[in-house]
Amino acid sequence: MCGIVGYIGNKNAYPILIKGLQRLEYRGYDSAGVALLNGQVNVYKKKGKVSDLEDYITGQDIRGTIGIGHTRWATHGEPSDVNAHPHTSQNGTFTIIHNGIIENYSNLKNSLTEQGYSFVSETDTEVLANLIEYIYRTQETNAEIAVRIALSKVVGAYGLVIICNEEKDKIIAARKSSPLVIGLGDDEYFLASDATPIVEYTDRVIYLNNDDVAIIKKDELILKTIKNDILEPNVQKLDLGLSEIEKNGFDHFMLKEIFEQPRSIRDTFRGRLNAEKNEIRLGGLYHVYDQLVNAKRIIILACGTSWHAGLVGEYLFEDLARIQVEVDYASEFRYRNPVISEEDIVIAISQSGETADTLAAIQLAKEAGATVLGICNVVGSSISRETHAGVYTHAGPEIGVASTKAFTAQVTVLTMMAMMIAREKQLISVEKFTGLIKELEDIPEKIGKILENNDQFSDIAKIYKDATNALYLGRGVSYPVALEGALKLKEISYIHAEGYPAAEMKHGPIALIDENMPVVVIAIKDSSYDKIVSNIQEVKARNGIVIAIVTEGDDTIEKMVDHVIAIPETDPSLVSLLSTIPLQLIAYYIAVMRGCNVDQPRNLAKSVTVE
Ligand code: F6R
């Protein structure tokens, strides 16, 4: 949430900042702004998209080899020009960009008001800019010390980049709970919320840790803690290609990412499955292997789509590995008084690895003594560093705000974990285990077949694009798939959609069904097939429209429903990897036909770094 970029070096900063903001726009698109240091600080900011900012800046002075830029997802104060970042302190000394929330901003604001400060915006960030300036002036200190003192008074989360009008040779950056990466060039440094704006300039990066402060000149970087302890920078090599963050001919990132799933799933299991040796090797779990295999209870914590993947995980761990599983929204878990024991294994699932609620839930679980594992997509992300052990999904950067390939990659990891435990505990035979490995290896090709029939999804979308409501039903492992299908539709097309366990329909939602209501039923051949067929009949008896996702060769359901989408047969444990694909594509085409901004749906942002 909110994207931050910065540059210091010998080049003109503006084009680097604008390109960086375009790459980070998926993190927030309420407003955008840049500040350029060229003798003086010029700030340009505008409500709306980065393109609105570019239009506004045309013809203005864009010189400067030091600059910072921001794309905003509004927290304090509505999206407006004045609330856009960067924010400058009252006397113009400090200009800052910020991702996160200053929780005690109201108290700080009152104290500063008493000292004669007034505020032009409604943001917590302007309060911080003025606090730094107030300390700088009253304590007659330098910018770095003023920043560190100010941050010691702040409660909340921040990824922060600061320029000072009176110390024109440096950028100061700091991080607490909101991500910040520094890219190292030759006599130049790049800063960003994630590595996507940096990758085309350098592959050497430093991920800041909580409470780190970086003082960056074009030819020098000093890293220290807020308390002034000098730190040794940990320079890492970036494993990210430029083509991974571009659309490569697709109309939208979401479509590209849906079509990438054969590749992303293959990359997720590559080198980890070994059918000949009857083995699944998840290197990141080695030192917790025994604890995991012998776990009495697993608690899965996540938000949104990752939570849906967790629900699929619940079926897999219980069915294959016979371990009791609880799946909780991280945001609920952290504010209950959950019962956690030292024997518990907690699995946190997160594409971004930065979700604030998931991070806070991890802290709580760690404090209670549980062993916490992470399933993350973004390498080096906060969650991957906060957890005791974990498995990366290797789906590659997911830029469309609606999560697609991350979900199937998460399910792939959960499947491998459940299979690995099941085999170790000898709950499944060698034959069943190798059969499952082979089935999993075949999944990318089967997804490829679904994608080949892409036209059927746009045909269905054409018919139902003007629907106002939709219901998604599934049983067993198809229930989380129904939830996921409904979430995809509502978040990108703004059609109200609900996912339900099919049997629950009779307990309320059936009242909604009429001849205008599309009901998407995941009706694959598994142990609850007959039951779901009955559920379809119940919908049809009330004139509902049924779109059924069925197993290839099913000619029973075909006769009963309005549309069938056939997916290749696979083991029931793996079917969610296939049945999700049509739902992603139907949601995508409906949203496109309704003229929605598919990659940047309204009010949303990728990477929810505020609670
Ligand atoms: C929906 C979506 C969100 C995320 C949720 C968690 O398409 O993308 O629901 O799944 O915000 O994000 P991560 O996985 O980054 O923790």
pTM for the full predicted model: 0.91
Query: Which residues span the domain enclosing 67?
Result: 3-244
Quick one: 343 and 420 in the same domain? yes
Q: What's the confidence (pLDDT) of residue 297? A: 97
pLDDT band of residue 211 (cuts 50, 70, 90) is very high
State the CATH number of the domain containing residue 93: 3.60.20.10
End position of a domain, from candidates 198, 229, 244: 244
> What pLDDT band is residue 610 in, cutting at 50, 70 and 90?
confident
Tell me: the pLDDT tens digits for 243-253?
Answer: 888 899 999 99
Q: Checking DSSP bridges between strand 230-231 and strand 212-217, what pairing results, if any?
A: unpaired
Query: 306 CA to middle of ligand 1, Å?
Result: 6
Task: Mark whether 400 and 465 lie in a shared domain.
Answer: no
Ligand 1 site-directed mutation target among 1, 253, 306, most atoms within 8 Å of CB: 306
Percent of residues, the chain, with pLDDT higher than 90: 91
Q: How do residues 483-519 score in pLDDT, each as one tens digit?
A: 999 999 999 999 999 999 999 998 998 899 999 999 9
Same-domain check for residues 227 and 360? no
Radius of gyration of the chain (CA): 25
Taking the CB of residue 90, how many other CB atoms lie within 10 A of it? 17
Q: What is the mean pLDDT of residues 417-428?
A: 97
pLDDT at 124 over 90: yes
Statement to judge: residues 227 and 339 lie in one domain: no
Which pLDDT value is given to residue 215? 98
Whether residues 47 and 17 share a domain: the answer is yes
How many structural domains does the chain have?
A: 3
Same domain? 430 vs 464: no
Contact 352 CB / ligand 1 (< 6 Å): yes
Q: Would the pLDDT of 607 be above 80? A: no
Whether residues 428 and 513 share a domain: the answer is: no
Q: Give the count of beta carbons closer than 10 Å to the beta carbon of residue 426.
A: 9
| Claim to verify: residue 464 and residue 566 sit in the same structural domain | yes
pLDDT at 611: 76
Strand arrangement, sheet containing 167-176? 87-88, 94-102, 156-164, 167-176, 212-217, 220-225, 230-231
Supply the residues annotated as catalytic: 2, 606
The answer to whether residues 165 and 171 touch, using CB atoms and an 8 Å cutoff, is no
Judgement on whether residues 427 and 460 belong to the same structural domain of the protein: no
Question: What CA–CA distance (Å, rounded) separates 305 from 355?
Answer: 12
pLDDT at residue 26 in the model: 86
With a 6 A CB cut-off, is 403 part of the ligand 1 pocket? yes
370 and 438, same structural domain?
yes
Q: CATH number of the domain that 555 lies in?
A: 3.40.50.10490
In this structure, are 425 and 444 located in the same domain? yes
For residues 174-180, average pLDDT: 93
Is residue 402 in contact with ligand 1, taking CB distance under 6 Å? yes
Cα(468) to centroid(ligand 1), Å: 24
- pLDDT of 227-243, one tens digit each? 999 999 999 998 888 88
Least confident interval from 76-90, 298-312, 361-375, 560-574: 76-90
Residue 350 near ligand 1, beta carbon < 6 Å: yes
Domain boundary among 244, 270, 305: 244
Q: Which domain-ending residue is among 431, 450, 469?
A: 450
Same domain? For 531 and 445 the reply is no
Task: Choose the residue to mutate in 403, 483, 602 for probing ligand 1, maximizing ligand atoms within 8 Å of C-beta.
Answer: 403
Q: What is the mean pLDDT of residues 384-411?
A: 96
